[in-house]
Structure 1
């Protein structure tokens, strides 16, 4: 929390970087540079004596460095236990003596905050580790990332930011990433007697959309979507779960069963039986469940004529593209073949397991991912590129696999490409999008895991006029369909997406995510299209 005169900040930061190097430490400075205030997060091994000694040695030298640049040890927070011993570097002995005399006048018995500022205890005297074990210990190391900076409370949707959609809808601290982190830190510290199953934990995570925006935008790297998945896994292990965990969490399985007779399934969804069914499934009665396609993408692909020869590419077909929106898959095939690729698909249906991950059924998600990664590894071993269409599924393969499976699986998943990445990386000719005006809603996981810059560059190079919408659509897979979440889901959609669409009724709405298109259709009464559909509809 150091602060130096702003005109000396450059010299200070250079010297500070040298100090980090000398101590074999690394960190990313941030703060309020215009005021000369600098924060940084550093990791020390404080559960062993050598680590504590290194901690003390670095702090004292860092304090000397601040003082040498005419600065303050505390730029905006108190000195307190953390820095009081070091005040001798900043104040003269006479000044400290006066402070002690003033304190003695008002606190002669020394009962108010003893050992702080005057007669301070050593900076390493009160270091306390968290006494957690097992899963809670590992979890604790993650949730302690949050230091309360509060970036999650800022509305950055006007510049493409997403974090934190639930807080932007409710304006309640408990619904911010910071508020949730504080509750989870109390869980780790043992202050919540019911542990993983504490109502405080349940309530704090209830409105988390698992959008992953914090993983990309939080300066300390908080990943609340992963934390929520872990909490749900621990809290409901060996117990009967909420109905939505069985209905929506297992949606890919139920959809594949229903897709055997899609007309019958859709008739049931539109019948009076749908109401009681939603109540039993924990689905909000105001939500319409999306209809199944009459023909799956896999059925269409298998029945089509033999594709032309070309460089092979494996199209990873997710559940939603396959069973609900096969037109997206057909458009992708057209675009890829027009680019000279020979499109192949996996021999068996694929799934990323996201619905199980988001409902905390992580062991079943691991089983699904192992099978999918195994199928992908075979293609990649021959150098065949793999392309995914649903951003949330690609996000799982590129991100969650590293958390759920081993390093080899993570390397395989990390190699999966988006359509834009394949087309721009290989330098293919793009369709002419001159005159196309599009309002683009990047999927939250696309924004957080892969980044949307490649898509934006492709669209600009093709000549399209793009208005990028920040924020989340509010449906977020299971979230907006679950009973009790509808009002917040609508409020999130009304924060950025729906107003942007209403402002430009003549624009194409570009929404790669199945959830985003579903939310747009149900609340905005507009049809969004996938990037593949936009490219397939235009001539080269």
Structure 2
């Protein structure tokens, strides 16, 4: 990271000595201190409508680091706030202050006690990782489970008083907190919790700042107690405002619970002592369909007698959004189309008991009337599939092509559950009155909490004025129902200004006093909750939003051109998943834990580049370049991001402009132009291999090419596949028709035995194989290095070669997943939607797709020496996951008798040119060592290592595992030839 200190707008920091602050932090903090533009720009916003550039970012490694950072901020008068996963929707995690990012290092479980069911954790701990550890040790879990459970942190949950669907069973985060260790801005460090009279007196006798705080809190309760009792809504989801009822004597004068939900505006949380719950033994899911969402709201209280784990509601608009994004299609296909659904999970000590309770509730709903259809799911996998329909709601309703962009603002109001149906009717009427009729309604209906994303216009003065008046009317509506402005996500900036509507001016003064007791200087996350910035200020867009409309090589149709790219990312943070054993979206983030290397962080910097007032050098930005540098172009975000961003393509476009008219990195010329070098080497491959494999020459060659000296350069084959094929001639019967076999550079010039195996398979299956005589290439290596003018020419030439076959309707079989992916996605956008490129996209298939769809009766079988079913340890190529799909490959493996053990490893880490450079080696190998390489080393000696990607096989072969990866085509060919697994497949074109 660049060490330079960047000046912050002086009118926001009141003459703060930025350079002195930066130096002081670097001197006292062992963790990372960053004041460069790239780091700050990556943290410019959360998942809200607001944007404020932080003064600097501190990433503490320990409690001492946190204390030192806050002390330095106090000494220099700098505002400060903490952040966990950064997914807040109210703007509480964006500020012109020093940001403490707890998630990277300060994320340990300090203890888990199964007997007392208590855990002590650091605030950066991710919820799912805590629960994985506590389940494993003691069979217990932290109960509240927001939709962001895979990447939200305990500190963030404490900051917002998070809930999630399971709060129906567990209660809110505050209700599951025993004690907190906190740090005040002026340096007091203490544990807080419930306080009886004896402890209170002991604190007063000790004197000092702690005694002053406790004395002031008691005075606050004495002064405002009656109003606290009368004005705070007695509902399950009252998240707005500070938790002053927990300070009442009848509630134990619980300072810890009072601070939960204070959004880093009062103290910095150092540790949390949490109550854990036994995991529910068995769950059963009931889905009940109704005419509209208000009818669901009318009936949610009926679930209370059946021990519900969760009671959710969602309307047809949400499902339409998900269908439009093609999210959770398997689950949605199972659901009849109705106006709305109620989702209830019942708990039982046995599966039968959980099922009986679900059936009991079903009978109750039938008696109540209005039920149209229902489904009961007892299988946990089916339940998990349906859960995802609800979990992805926030992302699914944002930035959907063909629909208006939706935004938060009134996304989590809550009312008494018994009044939910009427509230939903009135809220729908209000939305319709303002022209927001596309807004879906869904949420935690069992506790009266309603979520929605609304198509606000946040770029024109009239639209922003309409936004303000709608939120004001909505606040009055929910207050009239005795509800809460926020039922889950907190107040932040979005609702802080509206708190008087709900609580009245006197209680808001009590909130201001509560903050001042802990933070008399007003430096803790200023402008949030109390003394809040206006709800229409510091908008991420606003009336001055005017991004440029640059000429680009790709079309970016899903973004509406590149102008739509910067606002595509909503900030939900799914890219920050890094739990081991899952397929992760962003491999570089998983191994670096850097916000700049997350999909979200990269999108933030692209936004700042397009905005132009913070990062001002556009396409030449080194901050954007550095953030994109560790993108492996795996396209995981294209598949797994709920918004469907495609950072790999954005990176290619950026590089094309960044290096226009400039000298590029050496590997752009060597690896980026690999297809040309392979073509030139074809007549004399031994010369090229001699240069790359002879000591001395090898060192010079790698240095000139910009290749890591520790990497082996792949060897050129003695004869290319296309030369062997055309010398041999076609031998297929053509009973099933003709197909074109695509001779990608990697297969054709380096591992021709794979294409030879595919030919054997295709001919055995009854196809006539056609291989183009002219040199063809999809342009992948030029695309990945951002040499898009060349890529366009290469792709155009190859398309021209294929046109006769395409117009005849022939299918093109791709063997290398990354090249096949280009033909199935990138080429159309690169060639301006050329109709023949569209034909190529539609007619490109994988080997598995072709055999499954057109040769279903072709069933060669693998065998082993001892007659057991052969096992394959399978590394799924990231483009198979993201673009091509993998189910057909899995089906073919099983069809030929292989038992596939598919690794949840994500990208192998080599990723074409990425892992071949010294600068990327550490990240490349860390990606591979996360799951892939350990699995290969641990694989049974008789198992085959299956990897269709050339990069994946190269990573496996070069990592010293002692194992070699094979392509699926080789396995099917072995079955065709009758070879037993373990015999080396034939490496030349030949008879069957």
Q: TM-score range by the shorter chain?
A: 0.7 to 0.9
2: distance between equivalents of 1:16 and 1:147?
19
Q: Deviations over 1:71-91 (max 9, x none)?
A: 6543554434434566577x2
Indicate whether 1:466 and 2:900 are aligned.
yes
1:430 matches 2:852: no
Q: Secondary structure at the match of 2:565?
A: helix
Deviations 1:437-494 (A, max 9, x none): 1011111111111121221122123331111112221110000112311222122111
- 1:530 aligned residue: 967
1:208 corresponds to which residue? 631
Give a deviation string over 1:109-128, Cα, whole Å, max 9, x none: x9996797679856599634
- Cα RMSD for the two superposed structures: 3.7
From 608, 612, 619, the counterpart of 1:186 = 608
How far is the alpha carbon of 1:202 from its aligned partner? 2.5
* Mapped contact 1:132–1:140 kept (Cα < 8 A): yes
Is residue 717 of structure 2 the alignment partner of residue 293 of structure 1? yes
- In 2, Cα distance between the equivalents of 1:70 and 1:392? 56
- The CA deviation at 1:328 is 0.7
Aligned residue number for residue 511 of structure 1: 947
Q: Which moved more, 1:136-145 or 1:525-534?
A: 136-145
Q: Which of 790, 815, 818 matches 1:364?
A: 790
Does residue 309 of structure 1 match 2:733?
Answer: yes
Structure 2 residue 622 is the aligned partner of structure 1 residue 230 = no
Q: How does 1:384-423 map to 2 (within 5 A)?
A: 384-407=810-833, 408-415=835-842, 416-423=844-851
CA contact (8 A) 2:491 2:528 kept: no
In structure 2, relative to structure 1, the CA distance for the partners of 1:302 and 1:184 (3 Å cut) is same
Q: TM-score of the superposition, structure 1-length normalised?
A: 0.87
Q: Count matched residues.
A: 535
Which structure features the higher share of strand residues? Answer: 2
Tell me the distance in 2 between the aligned counterparts of 1:204 and 1:33: 41
| Distance change (3 Å), C-alpha of 1:439 and 1:117 | same
Whether 1:270 and 2:693 are equivalent positions in the alignment is yes
Q: Which digits, 9 at most, give the CA deviation of each residue in 1:232-266, with x for residues without a partner?
A: 11111111111111111111111110112111211
Aligned to 2:233: none
- Equivalent of 1:99 in 508, 524, 528: 508
Alpha-carbon spacing, 1:15–1:301, altered in 2? closer, same or farther (3 Å): closer
Q: 415-424 or 118-127, which moves further after superposition?
A: 118-127
- Please list every run of 5 or more consecutive structure 1 residues that lacks an aligned counterpart in the other structure: none
Query: For residue 13 of structure 1, what is the aligned residue in structure 2?
Result: 314
Larger mean CA deviation between 492-501 and 181-190 belongs to 181-190
1:195 corresponds to which of 604, 618, 626: 618
1:382-433 Cα shifts (integer Å, max 9, x gaps): 2212111110001111121243222325522322111111111122422223
State how far apart, in whole Å, the 2-side matches of 1:140 and 1:103 are.
42
Rounded to whole Å, the distance in 2 between the matches of 1:365 and 1:43 is 38
Q: 1:200 to 1:346 in 2, by over 3 A?
A: same
Looking at structure 2, the residues matched to 34 and 462 of structure 1 have their Cα atoms a distance apart, in angstroms, of 49
Please say if residues 166 and 207 of structure 1, whose CA atoms lie closer than 8 Å, have aligned partners that are also in contact: yes
- In structure 1, the partner of 2:642 is 219
| Structure 2 contact 312–446 (Cα < 8 Å) conserved | no
Q: How much does 1:54 deviate?
A: 7.1
1:170 and 1:143 mapped to 2: Cα distance? Answer: 23
User: Secondary structure of 1:249's partner?
Assistant: coil
**Partner of residue 936 from structure 2, selected from 497, 501, 504:** 501
Seen in structure 2, the aligned counterparts of structure 1 residues 135 and 396 have a Cα distance that, compared at 3 Å, is: same
Q: Which residue of 2 aligns with 1:321?
A: 747
Q: Which has the higher helix share?
A: 1
Partner of 1:131: 546
Matches within 5 A, 1:113-192: 121=534, 123=536, 127-135=542-550, 138-139=561-562, 141-155=564-578, 158-159=581-582, 161-190=583-612, 191-192=614-615
Change (3 A) 1:448 1:101: same
8 Å Cα contact 1:100-1:118 kept in structure 2: no
The 10-residue stretch of structure 1 (192-201 or 123-132) with the greater mean CA deviation from structure 2:
123-132
User: Are 2:880 and 1:443 equivalent residues in the alignment?
Assistant: no
Contact 2:878 2:907 in 1 (8 A): yes
Tell me how far apart the structure 2 counterparts of residues 33 and 331 of structure 1 sit (CA, whole Å).
57
Classify the secondary structure of the residue corresponding to 2:633.
coil
Residue 477 of structure 1 is aligned with which of 895, 912, 921?
A: 912
Q: Tell me, what secondary structure is at the counterpart of 1:459?
A: helix
Residue 456 of structure 1: which of 877, 884, 890 is its match?
Answer: 890
- Kindly indicate whether the alpha-carbon contact (under 8 Å) linking 2:908 and 2:955 is maintained by their aligned counterparts in 1: yes
- What residue number does 1:355 align with? 781
What does 1:29-44 align with in structure 2 at a 5 Å threshold? Answer: 44=456
SS of the residue 1:302 aligns to: helix
Candidates 15, 21, 25, aligned match of 2:438:
25
Q: Secondary structure at the match of 1:158?
A: coil
Q: Residues of 1 paired with 2:932 and 2:527: CA distance?
A: 53
Does the aligned pair in 2 maintain the 1:293–1:324 contact within 8 Å? yes
Q: Give the C-alpha shift of residue 96 in structure 1.
A: 4.7
Counterpart Cα distance in 1 of 2:543 and 2:678 = 50
Q: RCO greater where, 1 or 2, for CA within 8 Å and sep 6 or more?
A: 1
Against the structure 1 CA distance between its residues 461 and 88, is the aligned structure 2 distance closer, same or farther, given a 3 Å change threshold? farther
Partner of 2:34: none
TM-score by length of structure 2 reads 0.49
Q: Quick check: 373-382 or 384-393, which moved more?
A: 373-382
User: What is the distance in 1 between the residues matched to 2:716 and 2:764?
Assistant: 28
C-alpha displacement of 1:24: 5.3
Q: Distance in 1 between matches of 2:455 and 2:908?
A: 36
Q: Cα distance, 1:68 vs. partner?
A: 9.1
